[in-house]
Structure 1
Amino acid sequence: MTLESQLIKKSYYQMYINEHENEQPIRVLGDAYQEELQKDLPDLTSIRFAQGEIYFHNRDFEAAIFKWENIAGDLELWARKNIADAYYESGLLSNAEDLYLSIDTNNLTLKTEVALQLFSLYIERGKLEAAVEIIKRTIDSNPDYPNVTTIARAYFEEQQDWGNAIELAVNEAKRTDSLEWYDTVNSYVQKGVTKNLHPNYFLQALFELYSLDKEMFEQLTMSLWNSYKNEDSYFTWLKEVNQLLFNLDISRNSHLQLLSNLHHDTYFGLINGNFVIKTLEDLVPDLLTNWLRLAVPKHTVLVSAAVLSWNELFPTSINMSIVNEAENLISETECHINELEECLTLFEAITNWAQMHDMGENNRLNWVVQHLNDFDTHHLLITGFSGSGKSAFVNNILGEEIQDSPTTSLVMFKDNEDLNIVEITDQETVSLEDFTQFQERMDRRRNALESIIEFQQPFPFLYEQKLALIETPGLNGSHQDRYEVLQYLQMADTLLFALDANTPFADKEKAALSQIQELAPDLPIHFLLNKMDTIVNEQEAIRIFDETTSKIQSYLPEAQVFAFSSQYERGQQLVDLKGFIQSIKDTRNLADKRLAKLLFFIRTTISRLLQKRIDVENQLIESVRWNEEVVMKLNGALNQFKDVQSQNIKAITRSYRAIKESIQNEISISVPKLLQECSELIKEDSNFSTIHIELNDVMNSRIQEYLEREVMPKYYASLQDWINNGKEEFEQGQKFLNEIAEGLNSLYGEERIKIECDFKVLDDWHRDTDRMTSRFQLEKVNILLRNTPSQFLFKSAGKLFGALSQNKAMLYNKYKAFVKNESYSESTEIVIERFFQQFELFEKSLERDITMFFKQPLKILNEAIEESLAQITTNQDVLKKMNTNPEMFRDPLTLFEVRLRQFEWTTVAGKGVQTIY
């Protein structure tokens, strides 16, 4: 054991007791001490140092410190370090720290041991920052010291101090070329604790690891790649790692399977429609270049196709040497990919993207793709002009009258155990309950071509021939009309064109066939010569058949012709037809041809989505313009409506007040006269002391009778006339509003605005007027018992002089004159006030009632305005977004086109099957 090892382990004392193993160390050192004292110049340093170690191991720290305090020479600093250790073990941490820090030495071992003790002490005292600093400084100065990096790593991991842990692992991996440290780095990456670090942090380590161990290089690269995948720094990582790979000596012979898979997954992840081209244009070329350099055999064709397709859409973005290499590889290498699966994956990605961006469900297209994936069934498409008899031919094959009218939708007939009829539109698939519903769909004319109908039931002929019949509507109308009918032409494996034997193969048929060949140049076309029973005789029928066949084959040499008549014996015709169908079935390279059709529908989908983007923008612009026009007209209608409402309020309330004023005037004239006429009730023999009381009662009675018998009926009749006039006003208002609604609905193109006023207001008025005029009880009015001066004197005189007979004549004349000549204005006003008191609330509510009559129309118009304004705002926001970032829509479709071209490179073009555009 070396001296330093003894000093570290405090076993320096062993040098004194090697020959005295059976004796107590203290005794041995005591004897040595005494022996040294006998010398002329004793040197007790070594012995005292060794004694201190013995005391320390026996936890007699005070004695140990005493022995070490006066050590000088080479052992002095070690003795000081040991004293600090003793303080540490005694729990005197502060003293120990001060003593450790006082040790200034160039001895790297002592310096490291002191540092490690300080590290442990700082941890125990909770001085974690100091602990980190001291251990990092120790690693910098003496990284190879036993266990120092292991201690540091364990501490950093315990504290979850991943920054320092990662730094330690990366630095040690580079310094030592230790795969164990690289594995530690990889474990940190997989924990997810490195993803906040800049990607270039690991590049040098990766560079060095590549020459050290390629398998570990792949594993660490893959871990880093995946850790950055969902982070903001992902694209930075891709740029950095691409540059790193450029600087490495990589080839396909390196067999870097993991890296090849990473490039495959990353490339397809980048072009899945979630990123704009501006983000990818500087990234993808380098990615593809590196992928081509390291691609494993199963990826060679795929990456070559990716390079070529990217270069087609973005010329010069990839070095021409790489492009040339890709061309050579794709022509020389056998393809090992599941073409159909990859194609369906692309189609699904496009339709999912379209759905996420509100570009429609593409339900019909999904249906088409599903049937193209059915390789067990041959698709025979039957088309022709209306009147060619194709529906009768279909009925004959199917064995029953399926169709009794011309087809208006594309219909697929397919064998199935049970009856199942569905209608497929872009938005949904709807089950039709029975044959009647199917026939209703066949009878329609509007928007019929916007759906496909699939008719399934047991069809023995179709089952035997493994056949599905696809019948189109008649090819009538213009070139564009025919295109609408033939838009699903690529579904067919074979086309059977129906001809009328009476006018076979005329110019219109040639024009339609030319369009079909343009749309589907590889589609085999054969002919059905129909209505042969209408030919006058068999010889003429043979002549027409031969001439028609000759004309057809001069135009389409491979075409065959089958003669058919619905009047011929069905059994024999089916036998002949079976042979004919077997002869025109072409099952060679069916999978490749179906794949080409799938790629056609994918390309069609991309084109339609690009056009739909333009259509959507135009529709939004038109919607904004239209809604602005609607708002303008609605506001105009609203202003007119408010005028009508205001006029109704004025007219009806004015009419009511006129009636009220008329009644008031009549009462104000009639009541005074009625009261004055009460003077006739005064007689000379009347009791003048109570006459005023009696007269007051009679006057009230006469007023009550007058109001009930004359005023109230008249008022009731006037109110009924007023209500009827109000009804006429309301009806005029409703008529005017109906005209407004009609104009607005004409603008909407549908019955959206339905304005209905609340005529129940009239019922309420009838009820209220009936109730208020049915009976009236006038509260007794104090007519002659009032405390006016004249009445007071008059009543007092009656009481004073009424008992004197000589004064009765005078009182009689005075009473009669008073009652006859009194104006009764105040009493009349009281009567009028009390009479109309119950009508006050009714009058005050008239404006509210009329407003309630118009409430619903007002609400409807305001809601329509708010709806249009909201639609304008929404559409303008969408337009702004579309115009601000047009690439957000265009670029994903462009990238889908890159993927499509890639598949065309790897599949169709490589097999000699013509690509369909």
Structure 2
Amino acid sequence: MTLEKQLKQKTYYEMFINEHENIHPIRVLGVAFQEEAEKDLPDLSHIRFAQGEVYFHYKDFEAAIFKWENIINELEPWAKKNTADAYYELGLLSTAEDIYCAIETDNSTLNTEVALQLLSLYIERGKLDSAVSVIKKTIVANPDYPNVTEIARTFFEEQQDWNNAIELAVNEVRRTESLDWIDIIIAYVEKGVTNSFDPSYFTEALILLFGLDKEKFEQLVSALWNSYKNEESYLSWLSEINHLLLNLDLNRKDDWPCLSRFHKETYFSLIDGRYFIKKIQEFIPDLLTNWLRLADNKNLVLSSAAVLSWNELFPASISVSVVNEAENLISITETDMDELEECLTLFDSIMNWAQAHDMGENNRVKWLVEQLIDFDTQHFFITGLSGSGKSAFVNTILGEDLQDSPTSSVVMFKDSEGVEITEITDREITNLEGFSDFQERMDRRRNALEAIIEFRRPSAFLQENRVAFIDTPGLKGSPHYDRSEVLKNLHVADTVLFVLDANASFTDKERVVVAQIQELAPDIPLHFILSKMDTIADEQEAIRIFDETRSTILAYLPDSKVFAFSSQYEGSPQLKDLKEFIQSIKNTRNIEDNRLAKLLFFIRTTIASLLQKRMDVENQLVESLRWNEEMMLKVTGAVNQLKDTEAQKTKAFMKSYRAFQDAIVMDISETVPKMLKECSVLIKEDSNFSKIHLELNDEMNRRLQNYLGQQVMPKYYRLLQEWIERCKAEFEHGQEFLNEMGESFNQMYGEERLKLECDFKVLDDWRRDTDRMTSSFQLDSINILLRRTPSQFLLKSAGKLFGALPQNKAMLYNKYKSFVENEDYAEAARLVSQQFFRPFELFEKSLERDVTMFFKSPLTILNRCIEEARSGIQTNEEMLNNMNTNPEMFRDPLTLFEVRLRQFEWMTVAGKGMQTIY
């Protein structure tokens, strides 16, 4: 045993035991101590050091400390360390820490042992930062010390200090090239604790591992790939790993199944529409290059097609040598890929993206694709010019007059156990209740071609022949109409049956249509039904027409067949012949490949239609913005016009109201003074002049009450009613104006949206209020002769003073009479007018508010339209701005879908020598 190992294990004392193994160490060392002490120059430090160890093992820590504190030779640093150990055992951690930290030595073993003790002490005291610091320094200073890295790893894991644990593992891989540490890193990655590290952190370890063990290399790369997949650093990882792989000597023969799978999954996830092209195109070429270099046999064709399709849409992004290799591999390599499933996956991705971006349900194309993958049924596309007998042909086969009028929509007749009729449009799928609903759809003309109707019913003919008939509206012979409307569903067909009228067969118009069909679908067989043969009376003439028609068709279309048909012939023999004809023309050759090509065609047309929809949406937004701006301008003008009308009406009503009110005031001011002066006749020479003023005042008030109640109030009531009628006429004129305005706006809106109805209840309120206020009037007594004017005061005083003297009555009579006849009653008239009109003051003040209430509803509706237009403008501007600012939000996903489409075309149609449908 080496000295350092004895010092570490505190077994240095065994050097003194030797042949005294049967004697207690304390006694042996005691004897040695006495013997050494008796020497002239004793050296007791070694023995004291050994005695301290024995005391320590027997847990006599104080004795051990006493011994170790007196060491002054080369063992002194170890003695200090042991002293600290003793204090540690005694629980005096602070003292132990101070001693550990005070030890200074060049001995790496001692330093490491001190550090490990400090690590335990710091952990126990909860000083974790200090613990981390001391163990990291120890690893740097003495990484090869036994178990030190394992102790560090255990400590970091217990503390869940994953950053330091990962750093330790990566550094140890670099230092030791140990696969055990690789396994530890893989475990950390799979645990999900490495995600916060930049992907480049592991590059050096990966390069090293590639040279050590390729299987472990693939395992670690796979673990890292999975760990970064859902992190923000995912794209950084892809860039880093693909750059790394490009610089490694990869060989497809080494077999990289996991890396091949990860490249495949990653490539398809990147082009599924979630990312902008500018974000991924910088590293997709590297990704595809690496995939081609390490693809397994199962994915070799797929990776080659991916390279070629990406290079087509982004030329020169991939090196020429890689493209050439891909072209070579795809031409010589067989694949067992489920092509149909892959294409359907692409189609579903496009549909899901379209739905998520408010591009409609696209039910028509979904339905068409469903028909394509029904390999048990062949689709016969029945077409012909209008009036050719096409509907009669279909009705005869189905054994029922299902169509008693020209076909307006595309209808697929299919065998089924029960009757089920479904209407499919882009927006919705509707189950029709029965034949009446179906016939109603057939009778319509508006937007009829936007729908496809699937008519499922029991049919022996369809079931036995395993076919479905796609009946179409009659063609017009117009190239533009037929191409864009009826024939756009042509590619769902496996065979075309063109119905001809035997009375005028294969006309120029029909040849034009046939040429269109061949141009649109050159791969679909085209055959003919010569209908209405029963209308030709002479049998020889019928045979001649049939032979001539067939010869003409064969000269034009050598592979086509012709079947003579009549709805009047006996059913069973004709159906038997027709069955043989159908079986002879059924297109069974390479039907799955043909259907796959059609599926790719519908995917391509769907991508194109979505791009067009995007343009349509932008155009609609521009038009909607312009329309809303125009409407807001017009409605704002209408609001201002309505407010002007309201103000004018209010002004006119107030003016007319005050005019007849002023007339009443004038009448009162003229009549009241006369009436009051006439009261002078009531004064007699024998009147009681001490009370005459009271009697006269009462009589004057009575006469005023009668005058106001019997003359003024009826006249005022009549004037009010006349005024209300005039207001009614004005209100009705205003309503007519608003009706015209609402009709004009509704025409612009294209719907009955505005109903600008005014509140005529205002007139009812006015009538009710005027009836109530004019039903009666009670004049409060007016002080006419009891006021304290100087003349009245003198006259009343004189009456009281001299009225009892007979000789003075003549004088008072003349004075009173003169006073009453000459008094100015203007103030009295004013008070009478004021009191008369007082009940009507609130009515007058509310007139302006009432006119406002009359126009309130139309004004509210118009203001709401302004707000809606303003909101529409804001929304449209935001959407347009977003579309124009980030056009790639819409364009990029569709471009990437096209990349995937071209990839499958490389793998399927082009790879098998089939013609691509465009």
So what's the TM-score if we normalise by structure 1?
0.96
After TM superposition, give the deviation of residue 833 of structure 1 in Å. 1.2
| Letter paired with 2:499 | A
Pick closer, same or farther for the CA change 1:130–1:678 going to 2, 3 Å.
same
Provide the residue aligned with 1:780 in structure 2: 781
Pick closer, same or farther for the CA change 1:673–1:399 going to 2, 3 Å.
farther
After TM superposition, give the deviation of residue 165 of structure 1 in Å. 1.0
Provide the residue aligned with 1:68 in structure 2: 68
Provide the residue aligned with 1:58 in structure 2: 58
When structure 1 is superposed on structure 2, of 413-422 and 266-275 the one drifting more is 413-422
Provide the residue aligned with 1:271 in structure 2: 271
1:236 is aligned to 2:203: no
Residue by residue over 1:153-192, the C-alpha shift from the partner in whole angstroms, topping out at 9 and shown as x without a partner, is 1221222222211100111122222222112212222233
Contact preservation (8 Å) 2:385, 2:477: no
Contact preservation (8 Å) 2:477, 2:513: no
Distance across 1 between alignment mates of 2:441 and 2:695? 93
Contact preservation (8 Å) 2:423, 2:453: yes
1:202 is aligned to 2:202: yes
Residue by residue over 1:335-377, the C-alpha shift from the partner in whole angstroms, topping out at 9 and shown as x without a partner, is 1212111111111111222222232221221222222222222
Pick closer, same or farther for the CA change 1:323–1:680 going to 2, 3 Å.
same
| 3-state SS, counterpart of residue 73 of structure 1 | coil
Residue by residue over 1:710-734, the C-alpha shift from the partner in whole angstroms, topping out at 9 and shown as x without a partner, is 2222222211211111122112222
Provide the residue aligned with 1:564 in structure 2: 565
Provide the residue aligned with 1:757 in structure 2: 758
Distance across 2 between alignment mates of 1:484 and 1:319? 44
Distance across 1 between alignment mates of 2:539 and 2:666? 108
Contact preservation (8 Å) 2:477, 2:509: no
Residue by residue over 1:70-118, the C-alpha shift from the partner in whole angstroms, topping out at 9 and shown as x without a partner, is 2233322211211121222233333323322332322221121111112
Pick closer, same or farther for the CA change 1:96–1:554 going to 2, 3 Å.
same
1:291 is aligned to 2:291: yes
Distance across 1 between alignment mates of 2:36 and 2:105? 29
Pick closer, same or farther for the CA change 1:37–1:755 going to 2, 3 Å.
same
Provide the residue aligned with 1:105 in structure 2: 105
Query: What are the residue-to-residue correspondences of 1:142-161 with 2, within 5 Å?
Result: 142-161=142-161
| Letter paired with 1:309 | S
| Letter paired with 1:640 | Q
Provide the residue aligned with 1:656 in structure 2: 657
| 3-state SS, counterpart of residue 621 of structure 1 | helix
Provide the residue aligned with 2:114 in structure 1: 114
| Letter paired with 2:346 | L
| 3-state SS, counterpart of residue 649 of structure 2 | helix
Contact preservation (8 Å) 2:309, 2:903: yes
Pick closer, same or farther for the CA change 1:421–1:786 going to 2, 3 Å.
farther
Query: What are the residue-to-residue correspondences of 1:323-722 with 2, within 5 Å?
Result: 323-476=323-476, 478-482=478-482, 483-722=484-723
Residue by residue over 1:782-811, the C-alpha shift from the partner in whole angstroms, topping out at 9 and shown as x without a partner, is 223333333333333333333333333333
Residue by residue over 1:194-233, the C-alpha shift from the partner in whole angstroms, topping out at 9 and shown as x without a partner, is 2222211101111111232223222211121122223332
Residue by residue over 1:533-575, the C-alpha shift from the partner in whole angstroms, topping out at 9 and shown as x without a partner, is 2222222222212211221222222222222222223333322
Pick closer, same or farther for the CA change 1:151–1:385 going to 2, 3 Å.
same
| Letter paired with 2:59 | R
Contact preservation (8 Å) 2:477, 2:510: no
Pick closer, same or farther for the CA change 1:568–1:235 going to 2, 3 Å.
same
Contact preservation (8 Å) 2:423, 2:432: yes
Pick closer, same or farther for the CA change 1:196–1:778 going to 2, 3 Å.
same
After TM superposition, give the deviation of residue 647 of structure 1 in Å. 1.4
Residue by residue over 1:851-903, the C-alpha shift from the partner in whole angstroms, topping out at 9 and shown as x without a partner, is 11111222222222222222222222222222222222222211111100001
1:865 is aligned to 2:871: no
1:850 is aligned to 2:848: no
- Percent sequence identity over aligned pairs: 68
After TM superposition, give the deviation of residue 299 of structure 1 in Å. 0.5
Provide the residue aligned with 2:135 in structure 1: 135
Distance across 1 between alignment mates of 2:514 and 2:84? 104
| 3-state SS, counterpart of residue 693 of structure 2 | helix
| 3-state SS, counterpart of residue 469 of structure 2 | strand
| 3-state SS, counterpart of residue 911 of structure 1 | coil
| Letter paired with 2:423 | E
| Letter paired with 2:754 | I
| Letter paired with 1:91 | G
| Letter paired with 2:86 | A
Pick closer, same or farther for the CA change 1:420–1:716 going to 2, 3 Å.
farther
Q: Considering only aligned residues, what root-mean-square deviation do their CA atoms show, in Å?
A: 2.0
Aligned length: 917
Pick closer, same or farther for the CA change 1:233–1:696 going to 2, 3 Å.
same
Distance across 2 between alignment mates of 1:114 and 1:306? 61
Pick closer, same or farther for the CA change 1:683–1:392 going to 2, 3 Å.
farther
Contact preservation (8 Å) 2:500, 2:506: yes
| Letter paired with 2:710 | R
Distance across 1 between alignment mates of 2:658 and 2:441? 64
Provide the residue aligned with 2:301 in structure 1: 301
Contact preservation (8 Å) 2:393, 2:567: yes
Contact preservation (8 Å) 2:412, 2:455: yes
Query: What are the residue-to-residue correspondences of 1:870-881 with 2, within 5 Å?
Result: 870-881=871-882
When structure 1 is superposed on structure 2, of 793-802 and 381-390 the one drifting more is 793-802
After TM superposition, give the deviation of residue 420 of structure 1 in Å. 2.7
Contact preservation (8 Å) 2:495, 2:526: yes
**Structure 1: tracts of 5 or more residues without a match:** none
When structure 1 is superposed on structure 2, of 852-861 and 460-469 the one drifting more is 460-469
Contact preservation (8 Å) 2:432, 2:438: yes
| Letter paired with 1:269 | S
When structure 1 is superposed on structure 2, of 631-640 and 337-346 the one drifting more is 631-640
Provide the residue aligned with 1:896 in structure 2: 897
Distance across 2 between alignment mates of 1:164 and 1:859? 69
Distance across 1 between alignment mates of 2:445 and 2:471? 16
Provide the residue aligned with 1:769 in structure 2: 770
1:180 is aligned to 2:184: no
When structure 1 is superposed on structure 2, of 679-688 and 475-484 the one drifting more is 679-688
**Structure 2: tracts of 5 or more residues without a match:** none
Distance across 2 between alignment mates of 1:481 and 1:727? 58
Residue by residue over 1:628-676, the C-alpha shift from the partner in whole angstroms, topping out at 9 and shown as x without a partner, is 2222222322222222222111111211111211111112222222222
Distance across 2 between alignment mates of 1:678 and 1:341? 117
| 3-state SS, counterpart of residue 412 of structure 2 | strand
| 3-state SS, counterpart of residue 129 of structure 1 | helix
After TM superposition, give the deviation of residue 597 of structure 1 in Å. 1.0
1:3 is aligned to 2:3: yes
Distance across 1 between alignment mates of 2:537 and 2:683? 126
Provide the residue aligned with 2:91 in structure 1: 91
Residue by residue over 1:712-758, the C-alpha shift from the partner in whole angstroms, topping out at 9 and shown as x without a partner, is 22222211211111122112222222333333333333333332222
After TM superposition, give the deviation of residue 272 of structure 1 in Å. 0.9
Contact preservation (8 Å) 2:78, 2:110: yes
Distance across 2 between alignment mates of 1:407 and 1:835? 82
After TM superposition, give the deviation of residue 38 of structure 1 in Å. 4.7
Pick closer, same or farther for the CA change 1:574–1:99 going to 2, 3 Å.
same
| Letter paired with 2:44 | L
| Letter paired with 1:596 | A
1:742 is aligned to 2:752: no
Residue by residue over 1:454-476, the C-alpha shift from the partner in whole angstroms, topping out at 9 and shown as x without a partner, is 22333343333333222111212
| 3-state SS, counterpart of residue 146 of structure 1 | coil
Query: What are the residue-to-residue correspondences of 1:806-825 with 2, within 5 Å?
Result: 806-825=807-826
After TM superposition, give the deviation of residue 141 of structure 1 in Å. 1.8
Distance across 1 between alignment mates of 2:705 and 2:459? 95
